[in-house]
Amino acid sequence: MSKPHLTRENESMFLARIEKLRADSPRKFGTMDTNKMLRHMRNAFETCVGETNLPDSSIPVVRRILYFAICHVMTTWPGGRIKAPDYWSPPTDHPFEEEKGLFLGAMKRFFDALEAHPGQVGRHPILGPLTMRQWSRLNGIHLHHHLRQFGA
């Protein structure tokens, strides 16, 4: 089943799930706590709008196949089986509520960029250049994955 793109049209659905998160929400899989997960997702939003510049280690043919696989074929990612590179999960030095606010601000900037420039390209370090529409699909699946990680 395809997961929703992350857009303003379904923002309220995602926000309702995010509001269920607490600093001590138990995880169902993986090693991140909620604060680390919010920082991880903030990093993804900041990357797609060009606020964070991560090294591009993508391989042209592989990145197209990988994007298709994770965004069109296997849209429910296995919990706790895939670990992102360390640069995708920088440490946070903010308390939970502050990190959540920073995350929500980054998500808003993503929505603004998506609406203003849907064809704009942002560089993913593994998947290479993606349009904001492609980021919308990827971010929807990615955020769904991490919300599921905490039962939200």
Which pLDDT score is estimated for 71? 83
Can you tell me the mean pLDDT for 129-136? 94
Is there a domain that residue 2 lies in? no
Per-residue pLDDT at 3: 65
Tens-place pLDDT, residues 25-34: 999 998 899 9
pTM of the full predicted structure? Answer: 0.90
Residue 94 placed within a domain: yes
pLDDT at 2 exceeding the cut of 70: no
Residue 102 belongs to a domain: yes
**Residue 48 belongs to some domain of the structure:** yes
How many domains are there within the chain?
Answer: 1
Say yes or no to pLDDT of 58 above 70: yes
SS (H, E, C) the chain: CCCCCCCHHHHHHHHHHHHCCCCCCCCCCCCCCHHHHHHHHHHHHHHHCCCCCCCCCCCHHHHHHHHHHHHHHCCCCCCCCCCCCHHHCCCCCCCHHHHHHHHHHHHHHHHHHHHHCCCCEEEECCCEEEEHHHHHHHHHHHHHHHHHHCCC
pLDDT at 1: 41
Q: Is 3 part of a structural domain of the chain?
A: no
User: What pLDDT band is residue 93 in, cutting at 50, 70 and 90?
Assistant: confident
Residue 106 lies inside a defined structural domain of this protein = yes
**1 in a domain, yes or no?**
no
Structural domain range at position 91: 8-149
Q: How confident is the model at residue 53 (pLDDT cuts 50, 70, 90)?
A: confident
